[in-house]
C-alpha cells in the first residue's frame, strides 16, 4: 500500500479507530481489512460459503489497498463499527406544516450525527405573508425555516469527524424565489447550506422567449403573480457571480431520468448536487481512481510529452474488472447499512441506488499526455464514463440474476428491457478527502496547481510538487528548488518560460481552463451518468455577469442537470491553495535580524468607542481607541463580571492587538488572525455566530473598521473575508474549491463530502 504522508495524516485524523485519549488503535491495513471483511460478509445472505467470503474479502481488500477504488467517507469510517451508518447523502421531505418541518429538523440532526449530509426542497412551504389557517396568523416563509435547520446543523458534530452539510432547493416558480436567491447576502447566515434554484422547463422556455412566467402558491396551487423570466434569471446569475451561489438544477431534467417515477418525484439533491434522490432516499457512493487505470505501451509513442519515458494507454480491462468489483461492493453496503430511520431504509432498499464515480481524471490525462482543455480530452471523457456505465450495468444485471431485481423494478424505466439490481449506477461526486488518501486529483476536476505549500506541522511549511510534474522536470533537466519555489507561488505555470512549452500545455490548471471547457467536460461525463455530475466551473476574478450567464445557458443546452460556478475571489471564505507570488530574484535580500520595530508612543489624550458583544463567557466590551489621525491605535477588552482565565485571556488579547496596531500592523491582518477561532462555548446572536471571545473581539474591531473607515480612515482596506485565503477552520492550511465544495489538502477537512 503506497500511501503519501498526507494520506497517512488524513487517515490518522479522520478514519482510524481511536482510543479514549484520541490515539489511533488501528493501522491503515487494519482499517481496510475491517472494511473488506465486513462488506464481503453480506454475501452470506446469498448462499455463499466461508471460503467464497474469504476470497471476496481478499478481492475487496486489494481493490482498496491498491487505491483503485474507495467507498465514500461514512463507509470508511463506520463499516464494521458500532455506528454502522454507511451512506453519504440523504434527502428528507419538508411538508407545509410545523409538524413536518420540525420532524425534518430532528431527522436531519440524527443523520448529521451519524455522518451523512442532507438535501431538502423547501418548495412545498407556503410563502412569506401567506395565511396560516389554524392561527389566523401569517407564514414566515421558507427562508426563515431554513435558519432553524442551519442552527440545528451547527449544533451537531458528526461523530467527532465531520460537520453536517445541507442543500436547500426552491423551485423558481415559488413566490419567495427572490428572497431565497438572495438569502446568503449576509455572510453570517446559512453557512451550513449550499443553495440551488430549481429551474423548470416552463421557466427556461419563458426565458428564451423573453416572456413572463407564473409564481404559484404551493398551499393551494393558485397563481399569485407573474414575473419576467429574464429579470429573475438576472438576479440568480448576479448572485452566483457575486459569491458562487445559488447554483442551479434543471428540475424537469432530473425527473426525466428518474428511474422510478411511480414511486415519487425528485425535488432535491444531496449537498453537492450530484445525487438526485426521492424523499427519504439515501445513496452509497464510491469512486474509481482513473490514475490507476493506465498501463505503459511498448512500441509506438502516444504521449504528447517530449521525453523518453514510456507512453501510456488506458487499461480498459482493469477498468472493467474494477467496475464490476465496485458495483458488487456498493450493493453489499446497502444490505449492511444501519439506517438512521426506518423510512430511509425502506426507500433505499426499494430502489437500491448506488453512485459509482471517478477520481484522478486529470492525472489520467497527464499520464496520457493529453491537455485537459482539448478536444481529445472531451472525447476521451465520454469513452471512459460510457465504459463504466455499461460495465456497471452489466455487473448490476449479473447481481440481479443471482439476488433479484430491486423491489421497485416493476414500473421502472428498466421494466421489460434489462434486469437490474440497482436503479442507478453512476454518479460523479466530489472526492475531497478520498483523493487525498488515494494520492490523486479530485473527481473530474483539473489539477488546481502544479506545486503546493503544505502545512505539515505547526509552523512547518513544505513545498509539495505534483509527482508527474516532478518526474518530468527531473528527467528533462529543468527541475530546481528555485523554480519549484516560484511555481509554488503560482496557480498556473503557463507563463513560466523555464518550463518547456509542451509540458506547460499538458499541465494545465483550473485557472488555465476557460469556463466553456469546464462545462463541456461536465457535459461529456453527464451524457453517460445516471444521476448527475459534481463539477465546479471556475471563472477568473475579472469575469462578468454575462460570462456567468452564458455558462448557465451553455450547461442547459449541453444537457447538464445542474451547474455550480465559482469566480476567483468572490466567495466570502475565499479558497485557494497557492501562496502569494514570491519576490523576484533581483529583489535585495532582507536581513531579518536588522529589522527592529518600535511601538508608537501613546498620546496623552485618545478617543474611541465601545462595542458590547455577547459571548459564551458573558458580555464582552471591546473598546477601540484612535490616534490623532483617526487610525485604530489600541484595543481594550473587559468581560462582564468574569474573572480568572476568561478575563486574563481577554486582557492579553487586547494588549497584543494594541501592540500590533502601534507597530503599524494592518488592522485587516489582526482581524484575520483572531476571527473564526473556536472554543467549547459558541453562541448565536442576532449578528450571527460568535465562536469564541477572540472571534467576538475580531468582529467588534471589524465592525468598527467597516463603519468608521469612510469617516476616519483606517490603517488598511475595508476587511472582508476574501482576505482569509486558504484558511482551513481546523488546521489553518490551504483550502481548495472543487466539485461544488471545499477541501483542505493538509488535514482533510471538507464542508460536504
State mean pLDDT over 16-32.
94
Q: Is the pLDDT of residue 405 over 60?
A: yes
Catalytic residue among 6, 78, 194, 270: 270
Mean pLDDT over 634-639 rounds to: 84
pLDDT score, position 105 = 96
- 272 as an active site residue: the answer is yes
Please say if the pLDDT value at position 518 is more than 90. Answer: yes
CA 565/CA 539 separation, integer angstroms: 7
Half-sphere exposure of residue 696: CA atoms within 13 angstroms, side-chain side: 32
The model scores a pTM over 0.75: yes
Per-residue pLDDT reduced to its tens digit, 76-105: 999 999 999 999 889 999 999 999 999 999
**Of 72-86, 368-382, 532-546, 585-599, which gets the smallest average pLDDT?**
585-599
Give the range among 259-268, 388-397, 675-684, 701-710 with minimum mean pLDDT.
701-710
Give the H or E element holding residue 91.
Answer: strand 89-92
Taking the domains of the chain in order of start, what are their residue ranges? Answer: 1-66, 451-506, 595-723
Mean predicted confidence (pLDDT) in 318-327: 98
pLDDT averaged over the chain?
86
φ/ψ of 192, rounded to 5, equals -95, 10
Using CB atoms within 10 A of its CB, is residue 588 exposed (0-12), middle (13-18) or buried (19+)?
Answer: exposed
Out of 89, 272, 283, 560, pick the active-site residue.
Answer: 272
Mean pLDDT of 61-66: 98
Select the highest-mean-pLDDT range: 176-185, 305-314, 599-608, 612-621: 176-185
C-alpha 280/C-alpha 262 separation (Å) is 15
Q: Which residue has the higher pLDDT, 287 or 449?
A: 287
Once rounded to an integer, what is the mean pLDDT over residues 292-305? 72
Which pLDDT score, from 0 to 100, does residue 665 have? 80
Q: Bigger pLDDT: 345 or 600? A: 345
Where does the pLDDT of residue 740 fall: very low under 50, low under 70, confident under 90, or very high at 90 and above?
A: low
Instruction: Band the pLDDT of 733: cuts 50, 70, 90.
Output: low
Q: Residues 274, 281, 391, 464: which is the catalytic one?
A: 274
With a pLDDT cut of 70, the percent of the chain lying above it is 84
What pLDDT digit, counting tens, does each position of 237-275 carry?
A: 999 999 889 999 999 999 999 999 999 999 999 999 999
Q: What is the C-alpha to C-alpha distance for residues 325 and 309, in angstroms, rounded to an integer?
A: 31
The rounded distance, in Å, linking the Cα atoms of 130 and 100 is 18
* 71 or 746, greater pLDDT: 71
Residue 295's pLDDT is what?
94
Least confident of 84-98, 207-221, 616-630: 616-630
Give helix then strand counts, H and E, for the chain.
23, 29
Rounded-to-integer distance, Cα 598 and Cα 301, Å: 64
Q: What is the mean pLDDT of residues 19-45?
A: 96
Q: Read off the pLDDT of residues 484-499 as tens digits, 9 standing for 90 and up.
A: 888 876 788 998 999 9
* Strand 268-269 to 69-71 pairing: unpaired
Q: How confident is the model at residue 521 (pLDDT cuts 50, 70, 90)?
A: very high
Instruction: Tell me the H-state helices in 182-259.
Output: 201-209, 229-243, 251-256
Task: Tell me the mean pLDDT in the region 155-182.
Answer: 84
The answer to which of 58-67, 217-226, 335-344, 673-682 has the lowest mean pLDDT is 673-682
At 64 the three-state DSSP class reads helix
The more confident residue out of 413 and 742 is: 413
Q: Name the pLDDT band for 414 (thresholds 50, 70, 90).
A: very high
pLDDT band for position 716 (cuts 50, 70, 90)? very low
d(Cα 266, Cα 318) in Å, to the nearest integer?
A: 35
Q: Answer for the pair 629, 636: CB distance below 8 angstroms, yes or no.
A: no
Q: Which neighbouring-strand residues pair with 223?
A: 216
Whether the per-residue pLDDT at 511 is higher than 60: the answer is yes
Residue-wise pLDDT for 663-683, tens only, equals 778 787 788 788 878 776 676
274 catalytic per annotation: yes
Q: H helices within 404-443, ranges in order?
A: 432-438
Q: List alpha helices for 119-196, DSSP H.
A: 142-155, 177-181
Q: Does the pLDDT of residue 426 top 80, yes or no? A: yes
Confidence of residue 582 (pLDDT cuts 50, 70, 90): very low
- Residue 742 pLDDT greater than 60, yes or no: yes
The predicted pLDDT at position 722 comes to 28
Amino acid at each position: 500500500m503506497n500511501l503519501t504522508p498526507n494520506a497517512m495524516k488524513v487517515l490518522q485524523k479522520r478514519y482510524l479507530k481511536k482510543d479514549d485519549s484520541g490515539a489511533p488503535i488501528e493501522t491503515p491495513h487494519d482499517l481496510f481489512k475491517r472494511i473488506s471483511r465486513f462488506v464481503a460478509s453480506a454475501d452470506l445472505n446469498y448462499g455463499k460459503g466461508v471460503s467464497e467470503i474469504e476470497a471476496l474479502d481478499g478481492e475487496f481488500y486489494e481493490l482498496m489497498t491498491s487505491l483503485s477504488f474507495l467507498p465514500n467517507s461514512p463507509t470508511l469510517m463506520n463499516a464494521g463499527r458500532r455506528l454502522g451508518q454507511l451512506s453519504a447523502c440523504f434527502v428528507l421531505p419538508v411538508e407545509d406544516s410545523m409538524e413536518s418541518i420540525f420532524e425534518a429538523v430532528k431527522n436531519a440532526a440524527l443523520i448529521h450525527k451519524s455522518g451523512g449530509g442532507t438535501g431538502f426542497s423547501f418548495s412545498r412551504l407556503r410563502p412569506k405573508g401567506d395565511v396560516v389557517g389554524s392561527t389566523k396568523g401569517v407564514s414566515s416563509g421558507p427562508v426563515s425555516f431554513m435558519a432553524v435547520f442551519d442552527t440545528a446543523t451547527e449544533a451537531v458534530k458528526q461523530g467527532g469527524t465531520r460537520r453536517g452539510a445541507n442543500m436547500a432547493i426552491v423551485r423558481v416558480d415559488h413566490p419567495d424565489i427572490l428572497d431565497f436567491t438572495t438569502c446568503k447576502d449576509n455572510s453570517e447566515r446559512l453557512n451550513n447550506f449550499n443553495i440551488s434554484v430549481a429551474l423548470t422547463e416552463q421557466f427556461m422556455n419563458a426565458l428564451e422567449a423573453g416572456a413572463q412566467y407564473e409564481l404559484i402558491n404551493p398551499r393551494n396551487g393558485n397563481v399569485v403573480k407573474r414575473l419576467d423570466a429574464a429579470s429573475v434569471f438576472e438576479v440568480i446569475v448576479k448572485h452566483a457571480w457575486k459569491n458562487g451561489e445559488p447554483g442551479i438544477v434543471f428540475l424537469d431534467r432530473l425527473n426525466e431520468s428518474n428511474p422510478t417515477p411511480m414511486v415519487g418525484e425528485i425535488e432535491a439533491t444531496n449537498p453537492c448536487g450530484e445525487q438526485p434522490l426521492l424523499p427519504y432516499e439515501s445513496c452509497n457512493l464510491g469512486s474509481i481512481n482513473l490514475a490507476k487505470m493506465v498501463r505503459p505501451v511498448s512500441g509506438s509513442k502516444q504521449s504528447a510529452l517530449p521525453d523518453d519515458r514510456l507512453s501510456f494507454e488506458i487499461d480498459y480491462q482493469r477498468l472493467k474488472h474494477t467496475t464490476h468489483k465496485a458495483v458488487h461492493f456498493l450493493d453489499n453496503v446497502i444490505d449492511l447499512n444501519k439506517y438512521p430511520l426506518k423510512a430511509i431504509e425502506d426507500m433505499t432498499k426499494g430502489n437500491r441506488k448506488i453512485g459509482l464515480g471517478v477520481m484522478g481524471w486529470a492525472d489520467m490525462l497527464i499520464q496520457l499526455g493529453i491537455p485537459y482543455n482539448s478536444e481529445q480530452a472531451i472525447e476521451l471523457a465520454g469513452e471512459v464514463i460510457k465504459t463504466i456505465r455499461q460495465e456497471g450495468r452489466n455487473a448490476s444485471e449479473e447481481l440481479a440474476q443471482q439476488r433479484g431485481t430491486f423491489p421497485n423494478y416493476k414500473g421502472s424505466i428498466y421494466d421489460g428491457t434489462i434486469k437490474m439490481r440497482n436503479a442507478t449506477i453512476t454518479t460523479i461526486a466530489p472526492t475531497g478527502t478520498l483523493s487525498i488518501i488515494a494520492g490523486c486529483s479530485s473527481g473530474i476536476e483539473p489539477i488546481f496547481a502544479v506545486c503546493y505549500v503544505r502545512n505539515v506541522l505547526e509552523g512547518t511549511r513544505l513545498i509539495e510538487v505534483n509527482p508527474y510534474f516532478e518526474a518530468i522536470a527531473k528527467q528533462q533537466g529543468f527541475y530546481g528548488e528555485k523554480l519549484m519555489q516560484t511555481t509554488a507561488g503560482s496557480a498556473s505555470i503557463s507563463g513560466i518560460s523555464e518550463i518547456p512549452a509542451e509540458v506547460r500545455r499538458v499541465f494545465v490548471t483550473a485557472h488555465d481552463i476557460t469556463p466553456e471547457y469546464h462545462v463541456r467536460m461536465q457535459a461529456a461525463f453527464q451524457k453517460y451518468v445516471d444521476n448527475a455530475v459534481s463539477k465546479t466551473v471556475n471563472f477568473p476574478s475579472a469575469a462578468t455577469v454575462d460570462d456567468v450567464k452564458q455558462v448557465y445557458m451553455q450547461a442547459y443546452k449541453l444537457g447538464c442537470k445542474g451547474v455550480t460556478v465559482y469566480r476567483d475571489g468572490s466567495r466570502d471564505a475565499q479558497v485557494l491553495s497557492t501562496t502569494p507570488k514570491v519576490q523576484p530574484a533581483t529583489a535585495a535580500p532582507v536581513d531579518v535580524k536588522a529589522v527592529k520595530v518600535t511601538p508608537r508612543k501613546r498620546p496623552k489624550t485618545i478617543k474611541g468607542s465601545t462595542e458590547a458583544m455577547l459571548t459564551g463567557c458573558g458580555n464582552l466590551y471591546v473598546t477601540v481607541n484612535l490616534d490623532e489621525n483617526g487610525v485604530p491605535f489600541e484595543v481594550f477588552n473587559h468581560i462582564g463580571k468574569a474573572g480568572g482565565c476568561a478575563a486574563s485571556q481577554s486582557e492579553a488579547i487586547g494588549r497584543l492587538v494594541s501592540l500590533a496596531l502601534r507597530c503599524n500592523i494592518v488592522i485587516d491582518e489582526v482581524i484575520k488572525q483572531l476571527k473564526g477561532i473556536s472554543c467549547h462555548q459558541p453562541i448565536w446572536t442576532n449578528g450571527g455566530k460568535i465562536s469564541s471571545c477572540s472571534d467576538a473581539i475580531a468582529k467588534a474591531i471589524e465592525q468598527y473598521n467597516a463603519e468608521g473607515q469612510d469617516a476616519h480612515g483606517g490603517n488598511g482596506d475595508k476587511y472582508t473575508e476574501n482576505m482569509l485565503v486558504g484558511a482551513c477552520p481546523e488546521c489553518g492550511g490551504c483550502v481548495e474549491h472543487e466539485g461544488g465544495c471545499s477541501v483542505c489538502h493538509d488535514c482533510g477537512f471538507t464542508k460536504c463530502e
